[in-house]
Amino acid sequence: MRCHEVDYEIFGDDMQIVEVELDPQETVIAEAGAMNYMEEGIGFETKMGDGSKPSGGIMDALMNVGKRVLTGESIFMTHFTNDGEGKKRVSFAAPYPGKIIALDMAELGEELVCQKDAFLCAAFGTSLQIAFQRKLGVGFFGGEGFILQKLEGDGKAFIHIGGTVIKRELKGETLRVDTGCLAAFTSGIDYDIERAGNLKSMVFGGEGLFLATLRGTGTVYLQSLPFSRLANRVIQAGGFGGSKGEGSVLGGLGDMFGDS
């Protein structure tokens, strides 16, 4: 199934929005709750699955639901269709600070593996699958567990990456990356893990116990601020689970209301 051809424009810097322009009867699929605004004439419907197999039966629908559950996402996706006349626009917002990356799936070999919460929206016809990590070491220590998300199709897809984005083209080379900073890679890349140096470096180096090792020929997208790292810093700054420090959320509440 060929994907719908959609135009787009990305607005903003650190908290971005992608505005997708649809011709009559064109459709874009998105994660539930990602929509920011839409023009009159855009209709939307919540469905189970991505709709890439319109002739599929109940078993295909159940398999799609199971895949969504395994990746930790909502079992539903929202399909936005231009039911009016002329071009109409619908927009989708990034969930946390970072960049929205517009991907031409045809140029990427029609396949991309990404972290399970990276997908934002895509042209109708794009298939969202799961990619199991066959190697136990990658599953336990690779930062994203056994399951990653795989996008397949020949149209436009949009993913969200935390912080600053670095795009690297590997040509038979090897790149070692902090496991949380790996956001996406194409099918020609082999993904594995290795120890982060000797025992002293692993324990005291501050870089974690393992690094992701990428080898092969293809495209790699890296992120400077994984959401897990952002969440940890927010918790630390808020003083949750720790002492009440200056500038912390709990400290601020204590100053505001007085210590009892």
Residue 254, in any domain of the structure: no
Question: Does the pLDDT value for residue 251 go beyond 60?
Answer: no
Nearest Cα to 7, choosing from 88, 98, 101? 88
For the CA atoms of 169, 171, 177, 181, what is the dihedral angle to 10 degrees?
Answer: 30
Residue 156, in any domain of the structure: yes
For residue range 158-174, list pLDDT tens digits in order.
999 998 899 999 999 99
User: Containing domain of residue 201, as a range?
Assistant: 7-232
Residue 252, in any domain of the structure: no
pLDDT of residue 181: 87
Q: What is the DSSP string of the chain?
A: -PPPP-EEEEE-SSS-EEEEEE-TT-EEEEETT-EEEE-TTEEEEEEES--S-TT--HHHHHHHHHHHHHTTS-SEEEEEEE-SSS-EEEEEE-SSSEEEEEEETTTTTTEEEE-TT-EEEEETT-EEEEEE--SHHHHHHSSSTTEEEEEE-SSEEEEEEESSEEEEEEEEEEEEEEGGGEEEEETTEEEEEEE-SSHHHHHHSSS-SEEEEEEEEEEEEEESS-HHHHHHHHHHHHTTTS---TTSHHHHHHHHH---
Q: Rounded mean pLDDT of the chain? A: 79
Number of domains in the chain: 1
pLDDT of residue 245: 47
Residue 77, in any domain of the structure: yes
pLDDT of residue 66: 60
Question: Does the pLDDT value for residue 190 go beyond 60?
Answer: yes
Q: 38: pLDDT confidence band, cut at 50, 70 and 90? A: very high
Block residue for tokens 């984005």 = 165
Residue 204, in any domain of the structure: yes
Residue 68, in any domain of the structure: yes
Query: 22 or 228: which carries more pLDDT confidence?
Result: 22
pLDDT of residue 134: 52
For residue range 73-115, list pLDDT tens digits in order.
667 789 999 999 999 999 999 888 899 999 999 999 999 999 8
Question: Does the pLDDT value for residue 43 go beyond 60?
Answer: yes
Residue 151, in any domain of the structure: yes
Residue 248, in any domain of the structure: no
**Domain harbouring 75, CATH code:** 3.60.160.10
Q: What is the mean pLDDT of residues 31-38?
A: 92
pLDDT of residue 92: 97
